[in-house]
Amino acid sequence: MKSSIKHRAARRARSIAIAVAGVAALHTAPTALAADAWPAKPIKVIVPYTPGGSTDTVSRVVFEQVSQRLGQPIIIENKPGANSTLGVGVAARSAPDGYTFVSVLAAYSANMSLYSKLSYKAADLVPVAEMAELPLFLFASKKLPVKTVAELVDYGRKHPDTLTFGSSGVGSSAHLTGERLAMESKLKLTHVPYNGSAPILPALVSGEVSVAFDPLLVPMPHVKSGKISVLAVASAKRWPGEPNIPTMEEAGFPGFVMSSWTGLLAPAGTPQPIVARMAREIAAATRSPEVTKKLTDLGFVPVGGTPEEFRKLIERDTRRYAEIVKAGKITLD
């Protein structure tokens, strides 16, 4: 009798296990099928900036290649406004079906501290992949008698309250990088924000601002012609195209890595197989000779990593920017 009871109990347990597995399969099957069929229609990538900017440029270069690999059109939709938060908010509220993504800059991490209220939370979006890094270089006006970062710091200490730094706007990567330099050097650097990066170069040439962190491409010809100086690059390694320019760390600022970046996010709930597939296609695109050359010629470093690597980058920069924003009492509210 006892054996019979045990036998029936074992059969009941197996039946329950099979039923549970069946229910789980029913829940996961649509996701698996959707991922297998993806993409079955055009994909939209929201760029929360105006056409022609760094995020827009990287997105168009990379997704032209990804589109060819996936066999579906990828439509770039520019939705600028509110330091990118408008377009990011639209993406966060989009259906997590693998057909809407958003390209972001490092400003995405900074905005978490610059705004007390956002229309989205970090949990509303998931990382897909970093696409490219944009190193920021420290440029100086020729009106300053300095050729190195050490000379700049020495000059600032001997001439207090005279140094200024320009940026493309309050809360930009260039602004927060300049604030970090002021904090770590213990110099007073007065911030001069401009409407975009275009006015910074003439301001450096004329001496309207003392220094500025900016990407290399546009200012470099003026360095070569002797109109401005370049002191260092705020990246982990020297820029391959200009190997004689030292890093900020080599110039005496340990751990001073503040390069901007461009990466892709998806609405939370997007099937993980789709996120992983898009990450792989981005990695393949950024490794292609055509995309590598285009991005490098524009001053970018192609990346193309995994979702987990991008998540760690976002979290690191969110913490880093939060410290700078708090210390500088910076807000965009």
CATH code for the domain of 286: 3.40.190.150
For CA atoms 187, 192, 194, 200, give the dihedral sign. Answer: negative
Q: pLDDT by residue (tens digit) across 142-177?
A: 999 999 999 999 999 999 999 999 998 899 999 999
* Same structural domain, 309 and 164: no
What DSSP designation does 159 have? S
Q: Is residue 19 part of a domain?
A: no
- List the CATH number of the domain containing 174: 3.40.190.10
Same domain, 177 and 198: yes
Instruction: Note whether 108 and 155 are same-domain residues.
Output: no
193 and 165 co-located in one domain: yes
| Residue 46 and residue 181 share a domain | no
Buried residues in 245-277 as b, exposed as e (16+ CB within 10 A): bbbbbebebeebbbbbbbbbbbbeebbeebbeb
Are residues 183 and 119 part of one domain?
no
7 located within any domain? no
Q: Using an 8 Å Cβ cutoff, are 119 and 92 in contact? A: yes
Pick the closest to residue 316 from 106, 61, 102, 8 (CA basis).
106
Answer whether residue 287 is part of any domain: yes
- Is the same domain home to 156 and 189? yes
- Total number of domains constituting the chain: 2
Q: Is residue 202 located within the same domain as residue 147?
A: yes
In a domain, 120, yes or no: yes
Same domain, 267 and 189: no
Mean pLDDT of 251-271: 96
Pull the structure tokens for residue 236: 């982990």
**pLDDT category, 2, cuts 50, 70, 90?**
very low
Q: Are 118 and 141 contained in the same domain?
A: no
Within-domain flag for 9? no
CA-to-CA dists, residue 88 to 31, 46, 53, 110, 197, angstroms:
24, 8, 16, 13, 22
Q: What does the pLDDT read at residue 31?
A: 56
The mean pLDDT of 111-139, rounded to a whole number, is 96
Which pLDDT score is estimated for 197? 81
Whether residues 116 and 161 fall in one domain: no
Query: Model pTM?
Result: 0.84
pLDDT of 22 reads 53
Is the pLDDT at 254 greater than 50, yes or no?
yes
Domain assignment present for residue 28? The answer is: no
- 239 inside domain: no
Write the pLDDT tens digit of every residue in 86-95.
Answer: 999 999 999 9
Q: Is the peptide bond before 39 cis (omega within 30 degrees of 0)?
A: yes
Q: Please give the residue range of the domain that contains residue 224.
A: 137-233
- Rounded to the nearest integer, the mean pLDDT of the chain is 91
Same domain as 141, residue 107: no
Is the residue at 306 inside a domain? Answer: yes
